[in-house]
Amino acid sequence: MIEVVASMARGSVFLAGELMECLVTFTNPISHLSTSASSEMLAWASAQIHCQFHASENRVALPAQGNKQDVQAESETVLIPSRGERGQCVLDTPPKILFCDLRLDPGESKTYSYSEVVPIDGPPSFRGQAVKYVYKLTIGCQRVNSPIKLLRVPFRVLVLQGMPEPPFPQDEEVCPSNPFLEEEEVSRRDSRPLERALDMLMVTTSRRYPHMFNITNMRGKVAKFCIFKTVYRLGEDIIGTFNFSEGDIPCLQYSVSLQSEEEIQQQYQRRPGQTPSVTGHGRHLESCLHTAFSHFSLPIPLNVTPGFSRDIGKSLKWRLHFEFVTAREPMEPPTVLQNQSEVTVWAGAEHVDVDTFIGHWKHVSSYS
């Protein structure tokens, strides 16, 4: 028996275009159940990254792929990382050989380093109602005269839209460096891709400019809505304000929901006129009768996927969903006399004729 352990050096979340490093350890353990232990011989081991695509048969109609066999040409490795996986392999990197003809004595371990740049042209990791994109690092090894064994390590990929190609500078020699701090320089170069991506992300999401919108229905103006920016990072709060003092129609209650919308283009839809799949990620509900100003704050979860679009007709967009409950007739606010010594209790109306209307604001963009 051979134990294989894979450990990623910097967690399991990567940006497209970033270098992924993994340490793979092969061990021949000594079992306390056996009276004698023998050496183990491994013929080879290799590793590669692949992305599996899976579409819901009820919502997506994919074009025919033809007859694909689970074999490879003689000139390629016998390792097929997607063997036995559901869906289609839409992206894979060239396999890298970790070793050939490895002999492990009882209790002996060998560790090998695997590194690969996460492809920049791939989709982000995503688990939706219509499609799924799942990234895995597959490590395959084979004992002499034994079948191939696979170890799959899932990881998450975030795609930063707008990143130039190549994503990170190649002319490292023109950058200032300190020849007396070799280790620090190497570490700085390795972290530069991530730092540059984070700098770009901070610049893009830090731009603030008030966007004003009038909220109206068929009876008149309800409120004025203000949001301060349209591009957000994962984990950031979306903050908006309402000004009901400028409205002509009394608003009794409002709610704001953060939603993601999965849309499949018409040529890939299973049924004509298929509606997009909508997923809610948070809701703010508030009563606002006789309220002049109000605000909401909706956090963007860290485990969601930023908006993206793929060539199969799949797109993920983010939006704010609004619901307003308004009164059909004017409602007089309670009157409070000046210098009143007694406590006044105001009782609301028992019956109010109301209208309910909804709206969407689809200009919210989420970035990693």
Q: Domains of the chain by range and CATH?
A: 3-59+78-158 (2.60.40.640), 207-331+352-366 (2.60.40.640)
Strand, helix or coil at 337?
Answer: coil
pLDDT of residue 194: 66
Main-chain dihedrals φ then ψ at residue 204, nearest 5 degrees: -70, -40
**Is 80 exceeded by the pLDDT of residue 178?**
no
Strand, helix or coil at 276?
Answer: coil
Kindly state the average pLDDT of the residues 161-169: 50
- Match 């350890």 to its residue by tokens: 25
pLDDT of residue 1: 78
pLDDT of residue 94: 92
Radius of gyration of the chain (CA): 29
Main-chain dihedrals φ then ψ at residue 266, nearest 5 degrees: -60, -40
Q: Which residues of 63-94 are buried (b: 16+ CB within 10 A; e: fewer)?
A: eeeeeeeeeeeeeebebbbbeebebebebbbe
Kindly state the average pLDDT of the residues 161-170: 49
**Is 80 exceeded by the pLDDT of residue 283?**
yes
Higher pLDDT among residues 282 and 66, named by residue: 282
**Is 60 exceeded by the pLDDT of residue 185?**
no
pLDDT of residue 76: 41
Higher pLDDT among residues 282 and 192, named by residue: 282
Would you state the structure tokens that stand for residue 181, as one six-digit string?
């701090």
- Is the CB of residue 88 less than 8 Å from the CB of residue 66? no
Helix (H) or strand (E) holding 198: helix 182-205
pTM of the model: 0.77
Strand partners, 109: 27
Kindly state the average pLDDT of the residues 182-192: 52
